[in-house]
């Protein structure tokens, strides 16, 4: 099984025959930089890279990565996702592109998909809250308020109206974090930049989920720039934002609750400066390890009658949306049933 590699240090990526050589740049302890120990990575073992530090590589390397179907996702110092190198789209389909565009331009068809995305996301948020409510966290009032907002989704006539409902749902949902998490306070949701530890984890985790959804989309015939809930933009893959709404409660939020309540991530794993709060390198490593473990967890799929990983569920979600767009099968968002 191919693996995801996370490059936390800045460094140089080079080709060595059919192997990749990564040379990290490290601090020598005296404030100076030096080359660290080379790491050799067999190309057949690599699914994708996440580059959190500056990466030096030439065009020959990117040609080699493209030939082997290896993606590279880039993040800046502030943990913002900045872009991806994606292999050539071998699954491009003119028929699918036309279908995606037609559904986006048809207001009735677009809002049907947008409603389903929010319904799926809200359902999974409520499932998280119910899980902790049963464990004595007293979340019943918030659950009821979210259910009231959810009941109004069907009455929405415009996507902007839907986004407003989604914003109300998420605001109430995040209020529950203060009751679920033991040693940290979330307060208001702050993004650019995050102001405290919980917000830093949410922002970092959401970017991880977004890039995983982008990878899943590229493994299907869908075009990542044509979306239904989020407005398509020139500088973002907005369909990945749509799909990630379904999976953020399942993947990101559950990992946050785990690493904080089990004290795997603590105060020492954050850097705070100038009204910013960011995970430091050690904190990122801990979160990424837990996130990877979550992606590789399996569940017994009701329809397929076999075990599938959470990572594979994102790809299946893209297939379901594809069938809807081709008028083969009505799209039903993934909802936790356990």
Is the domain of 135 the same as that of 10? no
Most confident of 23-37, 39-53, 239-253, 274-288: 239-253
Is the domain of 211 the same as that of 319? yes
Looking at the chain, the whole-number percentage of residues with pLDDT higher than 70 is: 97
In a domain, 330, yes or no: no
Which of 52, 85, 118 represents a domain boundary (last residue)?
85
Is the domain of 105 the same as that of 52? no
Question: How high is the pLDDT of residue 28?
Answer: 64
Q: Is the pLDDT of residue 274 over 90?
A: no
Which of 85, 105, 122 represents a domain boundary (last residue)?
85
Question: How high is the pLDDT of residue 91?
Answer: 65
Question: How high is the pLDDT of residue 35?
Answer: 83
Q: Is the pLDDT of residue 93 over 90?
A: no
pLDDT tens profile 122-179: 999 999 999 999 999 999 999 999 999 999 999 999 999 999 999 999 999 999 999 9
In a domain, 294, yes or no: yes
Is the domain of 26 the same as that of 132? no
Mean local confidence (pLDDT), 81-93? 78
Cα distance between residue 22 and residue 12, in whole Å: 6
Residue 180 near residue 257 (C-beta atoms within 8 A): yes
Number of domains within the chain: 2
Which of 85, 106, 141 represents a domain boundary (last residue)?
85
Residue 28 near residue 72 (C-beta atoms within 8 A): no
Mean pLDDT of the chain, nearest integer? 92
Question: Which among 174, 113, 138 is positioned nearest to 324, based on CA atoms?
Answer: 113
Is the domain of 8 the same as that of 143? no
Residue 41 near residue 57 (C-beta atoms within 8 A): no
Q: Is the pLDDT of residue 233 over 60?
A: yes
End-to-end CA distance of the chain: 27
Question: Which among 114, 291, 334, 131 is positioned nearest to 202, based on CA atoms?
Answer: 291
In a domain, 338, yes or no: no
Question: How high is the pLDDT of residue 232?
Answer: 84
Is the domain of 78 the same as that of 100? no
Residue 24: beta bridge partners?
Answer: 11
Is the domain of 109 the same as that of 250? yes
In a domain, 46, yes or no: yes
Predicted confidence band of residue 92 (pLDDT cuts 50, 70, 90): low
Residue 33: beta bridge partners?
Answer: 27
Is the domain of 66 the same as that of 138? no
Q: Is the pLDDT of residue 234 over 60?
A: no
Is the domain of 76 the same as that of 115? no
Question: Which among 197, 198, 193 is positioned nearest to 174, based on CA atoms?
Answer: 198
CA within 13 Å, CB half, 209: 25
Mean local confidence (pLDDT), 68-95? 83
- State the helix-helix crossing angle for 140-150 and 107-132, rounded to 10 degrees: 170
Is the domain of 113 the same as that of 17? no
Mean local confidence (pLDDT), 209-219? 93
Cα distance between residue 284 and residue 6, in whole Å: 10
Structure tokens at 336: 């936790």
Mean local confidence (pLDDT), 1-7? 90
Mean local confidence (pLDDT), 198-204? 95
Predicted confidence band of residue 90 (pLDDT cuts 50, 70, 90): low
Question: How high is the pLDDT of residue 190?
Answer: 84
Mean local confidence (pLDDT), 295-320? 94
Mean local confidence (pLDDT), 281-287? 96
Is the domain of 98 the same as that of 41? no
Cα distance between residue 327 and residue 321, in whole Å: 10
Is the domain of 102 the same as that of 58? no
Predicted confidence band of residue 52 (pLDDT cuts 50, 70, 90): very high
Question: How high is the pLDDT of residue 192?
Answer: 77
Q: Is the pLDDT of residue 315 over 70?
A: yes
In a domain, 306, yes or no: yes
Q: Is the pLDDT of residue 31 over 90?
A: no
Mean local confidence (pLDDT), 281-300? 96
Predicted confidence band of residue 30 (pLDDT cuts 50, 70, 90): low
In a domain, 21, yes or no: yes
CATH of residue 275? 1.20.120.920
Question: Which among 121, 145, 141, 75 is positioned nearest to 317, based on CA atoms?
Answer: 121
Mean local confidence (pLDDT), 112-130? 98
SS3 211: helix
Domain assignment of residue 279, given as a range = 94-325
Question: How high is the pLDDT of residue 242?
Answer: 97
CATH of residue 7? 3.100.10.20
Mean local confidence (pLDDT), 17-41? 83
Report the DSSP pairing between strands 71-75 and 46-51.
parallel
In a domain, 33, yes or no: yes
Q: Which of 21-25, 144-148, 300-304 has the lowest mean pLDDT?
A: 300-304
In a domain, 337, yes or no: no
């Amino acid at each position: 099984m191919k693996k995801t590699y996370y490059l936390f240090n800045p460094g140089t990526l080079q080709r060595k025959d059919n192997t990749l050589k990564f040379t990290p740049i490290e601090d020598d302890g005296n404030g100076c930089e030096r080359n660290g120990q080379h790491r050799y990575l067999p190309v057949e073992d690599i699914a994708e890279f996440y580059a959190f530090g500056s990466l030096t590589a030439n065009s020959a390397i990117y040609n080699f990565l493209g030939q082997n179907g290896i993606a590279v996702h880039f993040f800046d110092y502030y943990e913002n996702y900045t872009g991806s190198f994606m292999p050539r789209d071998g699954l491009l389909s003119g028929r699918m592109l036309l279908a995606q565009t037609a559904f986006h331009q048809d207001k009735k068809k677009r809002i049907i998909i947008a409603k389903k995305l929010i319904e799926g996301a809200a359902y999974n948020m409520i499932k998280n809250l119910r899980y902790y409510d049963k464990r004595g966290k007293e979340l019943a009032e918030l659950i009821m308020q979210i259910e009231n907002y959810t009941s109004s989704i069907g009455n929405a006539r415009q996507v902007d109206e839907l986004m407003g409902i989604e914003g109300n749902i998420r605001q109430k949902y995040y209020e529950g974090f203060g009751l679920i998490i033991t040693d940290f306070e979330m307060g208001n949701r702050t993004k650019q930049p995050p102001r405290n530890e919980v917000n830093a984890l949410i922002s970092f985790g959401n970017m991880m989920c977004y890039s995983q959804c982008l990878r899943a989309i590229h493994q299907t015939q869908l075009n990542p720039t044509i979306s239904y809930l989020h407005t398509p933009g020139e500088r973002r893959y907005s369909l990945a934002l749509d799909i990630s709404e379904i999976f953020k409660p399942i993947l990101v939020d559950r990992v946050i609750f785990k690493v904080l309540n089990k004290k795997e991530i603590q105060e020492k794993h954050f850097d705070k400066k100038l009204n910013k709060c960011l995970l430091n390198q050690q904190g990122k490593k801990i979160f990424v390890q837990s996130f990877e473990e979550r992606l590789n967890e399996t569940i017994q799929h009701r329809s397929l009658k076999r075990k599938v990983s959470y990572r594979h569920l994102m790809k299946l979600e893209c297939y379901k949306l594809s069938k809807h767009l081709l008028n083969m099968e009505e799209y039903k968002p993934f909802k936790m049933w356990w």
